[in-house]
Structure 1
Amino acid sequence: MSQKRLPAEIYWRRRLLFLALVIALIWIGTKVLGGGGDPKAKPEPTATSTATATSIPAPTEGALTVKLTSATRSCDAEKIRVTPTVKPGQLTKGPVEVGLVVSSTEDTACTLTPAAADLLVVISANKVAVWDSTVCKTSLLTDPVAISPGWATLAEASWSGRGSGNKCSVKEGFATPGTYTIQAGTLGGEPGKTTFTLNPKPKPKPTETKTTPKPKGTTKPADE
């Protein structure tokens, strides 16, 4: 007895139904075996490496205090840097104020004494020496200078305003008005130089002499 073949549509429907059943079973198994939790729960964020910046507080305005360290140890003259400076408005026929900015490349504090400094100073005009410390055998530094590492110290000095000549006599004439160059440095150290101008000293105003006026209409006494 022969069986009749079913139509092709029935075979395709059965196959699609079977395929849908398999997909449903796979989906249910995934949810059960995967431990399905609360679908509304947010996933935990993955850990990421972040750099932590160390903040340095900004300095308060006006709170910086500078304290220069003094020392009895003498400075090494070869590690000294000198930069001369002259205030504007200097006049002839008198002392000239000179500033010496002194610093050291040493790592520790030291004191620069006039004797150990062996400071060389030359003041010239048109490349001609007007005053030379080696001729006068004297130093513009008169007091010890304390120097701290990383800082510069301003030492005040004074030039007589006269030339040195051959013997550095006190009778040497004063420098004339004009532009000058001053060079300063320790023996073996780093020298510095700058230019400055000497202005003519104003002439003193003549003093007015008061004369007693003669009275008008003066008559001689009559002869008796």
Structure 2
Amino acid sequence: MWHPVGELPARVYWRRRVVVLAVVLALLGGVGWLAFSLLSARDGGASASDGAEAVPEPALERVVPSLTAVATPDPPPVAETVAEPPVAAPDPVPGGPCTDDMITLEVRTPGSVPVGSKPTFELAVANVAAVPCVRALDKGLQEIVMLDSAGNRVWGSNDCFPEASSDPRTLAPGEVVTVPLVWGGLTSEPTCSAPRVNPPPGSYLLRARLDTKVSPDATLTLV
């Protein structure tokens, strides 16, 4: 086999054998490369498939949990407030004291008087409760003041001639007690030390007080 015999020179036969051997080696190498390529392609597809199924979790999500994973506590239930019923005021006791809400107070005037005259005003106290009650009508607890249109004090019934008395009255339901009070027609102030003069013509307000009860304002016009 290794010593060819023939009519041709020996180098010709050796050259042919080398060519055949090279062709065989080339075929084997091609088959091997093809098999390797197929195996690589199959492994690469499997790796890509595995990579598509398992995506690595970002590092930030491994440290900070997502909002959906954080359990937020439910807000505490709001307690319902139950409105307490209003406390009813106790019924007036017959023969007890007349409180301010059991009486009305009114100052009555002639409406219009000349400057320098001495009109008489009336302090009217009425029991508007359903039971009789007692109210002190002492002179020291009664007062009428006069104010001008700007709200300045012009005169007060207790400024220069204060009086003292003790006069508890039992007022029947609906009863009205009227106390007269004369105005000297002059201005005054609480110390009665300022000169007293006739106020000028115009509109004035009169406001009465019986201890802690105050009346609505009444009008008086000096002409």
Could you tell me the TM-score, scaled by structure 2's length?
A: 0.45
Bigger-Rg structure (1/2): 2
Could you tell me the TM-score, scaled by structure 1's length?
A: 0.45
